Structure 1
Amino acid sequence: MSTTDSKLSIENNPAAYIAIQQLVQRYTDVINLRNWKELSEIFGIDAVWKAPSPINLQFAGLEAILEGIPASVAKTEYLIQFATGVIIELQSDTQATVRSHLAEFGRFKDSGEKLEAVGIFRDIMVKQNGVWKFQERVFELRFPTRV
């Protein structure tokens, strides 16, 4: 067995790939629409959301995520995200690692400065009670710009 055969492929579990891709897109939709009630549907109870330096945000547990993400986004007049380049590696029928690329544009309420950022999300997703959810979501900022 080669190293490429050690992980499950889309051919073995196409439903998982579709559900995981949808989860990435759903997160972006929640942010863009500020539809905060859906956050609880896409993150696990003990999930973690992180954005290390230079952003320096971390929310551990669903309650912290439900408070922290909306509070962070509320600092902007608008914030629009686009997710692309989703790479899914199924570790098992109930766990996956995912990488996706993100571009976002917005404007801060307090200063009027525009926000343009490009980065990568590195995720661990788990299937709980038949539903895929984020277990860990880490945002790595690549190109920040405040205009």
Structure 2
Amino acid sequence: MPVYDYACACGVRFETMVPSWSSPAPGCPSCGELTRRRPPSPAVHGRAAPPAAMSTAPQSWEGLNNGDRDTITHWRRRMDARQEFESRHPEHAEHRDAIAAHEGAFERRPLTYKELAARAATSKDAGTAAAEASRARSGAGTTTTGAGD
């Protein structure tokens, strides 16, 4: 027997098993009045999916269609939905660290402030730490700082 959703004029909503789609609607469990069948939820149709991940959002002005208001609004809504989803389901939260540098040697693997602070702990100099991280990324002996301001 399938389960269907029903709603009553008094505001009560409930699910119940009925013999078939053509079966008459059951009475309200609260007031006894006739109810009406509610449309099935999107999950029944296979449309339930988590919102787009934060990593899918555009990372540049060009990615936002040069600041087009509608594009910005679209992405802001998608990211708000993702944040709300992650607050309800923390197991799906993406790990995000603040980025100190993302160009040059750090293009493929950005330099996070956490890594920069760990490298600067010994030298007490962020510039030296950034240069060290850049050398580690490139594998060569160049001294490109790569620390984006």
Q: TM-score, normalised by structure 1?
A: 0.23
Q: TM-score, normalised by structure 2?
A: 0.23
Q: Which has the larger radius of gyration?
A: 2
- RCO (CA 8 Å, sep 6+): is it higher in 1 or 2? 1
